[in-house]
Each structure stands twice: as structure tokens, then as C-alpha cells.
Amino acid sequence: MVSLGPPYQGYLYAYPHKTAYRPLEPRPRLADVWAGEDTTSLFLYTHIPYCEMRCGFCNLFTRAAPPHEQVTAYLAQLRRQARQVAAALPGARYARAAIGGGTPTYLTAPELTELFDLLEAATGVDFQPVPLSVETSPATATADRLAVLNERGATRISIGVQSFLDAEAHAAGRPQRRAEVERALDAIRAAGPAGLNIDLIYGIPGQTRATWDESLSAALRWAPEELYLYPLYVRPLTGLGRRETADGSDPDWDAQRLELYRHAVSRLAAEGYEQLSMRQFRRPTTQSTPPDDYCCQDDGMVGLGCGARSYTTALHYSFDYAVGVRHVRGILDDYLARPAVDFDVAEVGFALDAGERRRRWLLKSLLRAEGVDAAAYAARFGTAVDDDFPALESLRTAGYAEGHRLTADGLARSDAIGPWLISGGVRAAMAGHVTR
């Protein structure tokens, strides 16, 4: 019988995890990194590392309330980086795009216009025909900013609400008011046709099944095209992490989070939502899925901005990463000071050998509700997924998988199954990471 350990170990949204990245010596030129790659169907990701405040649970690469002159300098430097990256990928075409952070709408409406202008001019991307997701927050989802997003082609606007109850939001280190949240949601719906995603968190101190259901009901009143439901994690160097004495597993907390998760799955199914992963739920009538010519397992991603990652077949790379305020500011200062020619190279990353490429494909498929397409795997790699990963049989025996898909119980334990399937090499690199 397979032993996965506690159900809440880590969110494996990418593989290898960024904590496995190390400085690349020598730093490879981007033109060489992308040589031979298919660049006809890429994902363009742009990172805006600024927020009006830092939430207590957040371990993303972001700085709260930066001086205005730094934001101005950041957009100018982003333009220089985008030009250098575009020169290394001549003829690149983008099938999907996202602007994240941080909070992209921390930028003013004129700054958002400048951001879209520089991205289109530098990369040649046309945002109108491609799915484009942009993140916002209750405090920054204003009519003028949302007008820019809708005019420039945003098809999905994602807002982190976390809880509609003020006391729970404050307990999660997010001092917002429900009236502000409702105003923001009203503004998003009034601004244009872009689909709405609402993020909620379960496992907040003091949260009960009744209060969790109240947040679900409040979110559903806005008929969001998507809902993302996240279990709360307490991570080192975050606001909550500084308050807590440990961030390990607590059996009672684990049981509570599982109960709240299962209640949400049942509730959303009754409301007609389709579960796509442990976290993602979508109304089937919506058209916010990526086009058929983009495949997250196969296609590359170009990341722009400090904190963004890029993915090729053989190399995942980014800039340095930190959580602590002092180190984040230092990395941002370095980004802003570097000459444009320095954007011609990959700085920090992880090289994927044949085994890691197979494992990434497996994980990016298995942790989705549709599971692994065994025929597509065989066509891509020339081997059978069950031969390459006999651990799949252990998951079946334990009742966590049927065929090449996770069962409902398996999906509920995605944050244990993902870490369980990490390779020894990546696990060792992650263990050697020093959180800063």
C-alpha cells in the first residue's frame, strides 16, 4: 500500500519547482536556448511584482507599495527586456497570454496602457484573438483600469477574494472589507465581457463549514465562469509564517481542510460546475479554455519581467527568487540596474533530461481531472507511461487512480501525490534551497 503522507504538502503547479532552480554557469544565450524549439504556439507570461499590500499567506515574488518612480523604471526596463527576448525568438507566435504578479492592476490605467503598448510593440503579440488572463484585487479593480483590460482583449479577470467574511479575511492577513469586494466584483461585471474567476481559500483560522459555505454562496451570486479553491498553507517568511511556530502538518487541520474541500466539490457540482483539478472549477458553458493549438504539457512559455519563468523543452529558467522583503527588493534593484544586453541570457534555471521531461508531462496531466492520455504520451516519448512510471500502479492499488486518471479521493490528495512523484534529483535540489 502506498503511503502518501499528509494530504497537504505543497501545490505542484509547475515542475520542476522553482526551489530546484540554481544559477546557470555559464549563462546560456537565449537564442541558443530556444534554437530548435517550436515557437509557433507559445504562452506569454508577464510578471508585475507589485501590490498595494502583502497578504499574510503570500509567498509570491512581489513588493508592497513601491515608490512610484520604481514602477516607472520597471516598465521602461520591461520594454528593454521584451525587445531583447523578442530578438532571440524571431517569428514567435503566442496562443495564450497572462499578466500576473503581484497585482497587475496595481498599475494605474495609463500605466496599464503603456504595458500593453510595450508588449505588443516588442513581441508582436496581438492580444485580441488569444485568451488573455489578468489578475486583480478588490482594492485595484477600478472602472478605469478594468476598461483598459477589456479594451485590450482580456478574456479572463481573476480576483483574489479568499473570503467574503471580513473576520476570516483579516485572519488570513488580508485587511479587506466585504463592501470593497462586492464593489470590485460589480465593476468587473460592468466593465465588459471578460470572464470572471474568483479565488477562495479554505482552512483559515476560525473558519467553519457554515462560514465556508457562506463564502461559496456569496461567490456564486456573481455566477463566475471559474472558481479556484486553495487550501491555506503557512509558509516561511510570509506574514502568517512569522506568526506561527511551525508550518508542518496538523492532523486536525488536515481533516478540516479535507472536509471543507469535499463540501465545496459537492456544492459546486450541484451548481453545475465541472471540476478540472483539485483547485479549478468551471461552468461548462464558458469558452475560457485555451485554443486547441496550445498544450500546457508540450508548448513553451516566455516569461517577461522580474519574477517570471520561461519554459523550453530542455530548460526552465528565470531570475533569482526570494520571499523576504529585503531580498525581493535586492533582486528588483538588480533587475532595474542591469544593461539591456544582460537580458540575452538565462540566469537561473533547471535543465530537464529525458526522464524529467517525461515526469513533467506525467505530472501536468495526472493532476488534472482528465488524467493522462497514454496514447499521446507514447506518441511523444516512444515509450509506455506505465512502463516509465510503475508508481501509477501503486496509486491504482491504493484507490487513488483508475486507469490513467485520479479518482475523487486521488484528486483530493493532489498536494500529496504531486510531491510523492517528484524525482530524487529534483527533491534533492529543493531540499538544498535556502528560503530568503
User: Do 109 and 144 belong to one domain?
Assistant: yes
Last residue of a domain, one of 282, 311, 331: 282
Residues 277 and 388 reside in one and the same domain: no
Is the previous residue joined to 7 through a cis bond, with omega within 30 degrees of 0?
no
Q: What average pLDDT does the segment 232-253 reach?
A: 68
Q: Average pLDDT for residues 168-186, to the nearest whole number? A: 94
Domain check: are 358 and 428 in the same one? yes
Dist CA 193 CA 116 (whole Å): 19
The C-alpha atoms of residue 277 and residue 406 are separated, in whole angstroms, by 10
Task: Classify residue 294: in a domain, yes or no.
Answer: no
For residue 428, being part of any structural domain is answered with yes
Give the residue among 197, 34, 218, 59 at the shortest CA–CA distance from 131.
197
Query: How would you class 273 by CB atoms within 10 Å of its CB: exposed for 0-12, middle for 13-18, buried for 19 or more?
Result: buried
**419: nearest Cα among 13, 12, 1:** 12
* Diameter over CA atoms, the chain: 58
- pLDDT attached to residue 296: 58
194 in the same domain as 49: yes
22-35 burial code (b ≥16 CB/10 A, e <16) = eebeebbebeebbe
Does residue 110 fall inside a structural domain? yes
Q: State the pLDDT at residue 297.
A: 56
Count of domains for the chain: 2
Cα 40 to Cα 32, 299, 318, 362: the distances in Å are: 17, 9, 21, 23
Q: Which amino acid is located at 115 in the chain? A: L
- Give the model's pLDDT for residue 248: 55
- Polymer length in residues for the chain: 436
Same domain, 182 and 254: yes
The 10s digit of each residue's pLDDT in 59-105 is 778 899 999 999 999 999 999 999 999 999 999 999 999 999 999 99
Looking at 250, 282, 314, the residue that finishes a domain is 282
- 400 and 420 belong to one structural domain: yes
Q: Is residue 297 part of a domain?
A: no
Residue 245 — pLDDT band, cuts 50, 70, 90? very low
In a domain, 363, yes or no: yes
Q: Do 60 and 207 have their domain in common?
A: yes
**Burial class, 432, CB count within 10 angstroms (exposed 0-12 / middle 13-18 / buried 19+):** exposed
Going through 73-131 in order, the beta strands assigned E by DSSP cover 94-101
What DSSP line would sit under 290-330, residue for residue?
PPTT--TTTS-EEEESTT-EEE-SSEEEES----SHHHHHH
Q: Residue 246 pLDDT > 50, yes or no?
A: no
Q: Please enumerate in sequence order all residues whose Cβ is within 8 A of that of 236, keeping only pairs 6 or more positions apart, or say none.
A: 59, 247, 323, 435
Q: What is the pLDDT of residues 292-330, one digit of tens each?
A: 444 555 679 999 999 999 999 999 999 988 888 899 999
Residue 281, C-beta contacts closer than 8 angstroms, at least 6 positions apart: 226, 227, 228, 229, 268, 273, 274, 275
| 326 falls within a domain | no
Domain edge (last residue) among 282, 297, 329:
282
Write the secondary structure of 29-43 as one string of H (helix), E (strand) and C (coil): EHHHHCCCCCCCCEE
Q: Range of 242's domain?
A: 26-282
Question: pLDDT-derived band of residue 232, with 50, 70 and 90 as boundaries?
Answer: very high
Output the domain CATH number for residue 233.
3.80.30.20
Based on the domain organization, do 115 and 202 belong to the same domain?
A: yes
Does residue 289 belong to any structural domain of this protein? no
Do 11 and 89 reside in the same domain of the chain? no
Residues 42 and 103 occupy one common structural domain: yes
Please tell me the distance from the alpha carbon of residue 97 to that of residue 294, in angstroms, as a whole number.
11
Residue 54 grid cell:
502583502
Same domain flag for 272 and 364: no
Cell of 61: 515574488
CB 63 within 8 A of CB 207: no
- pTM, rounded to two decimals: 0.94
Residue 70 grid coordinates: 520604481
CA atoms within 13 A on the CB side of 347: 17
Q: Are residues 67 and 6 in the same domain?
A: no
Residue at 315 is within a domain: no
pLDDT attached to residue 61: 83
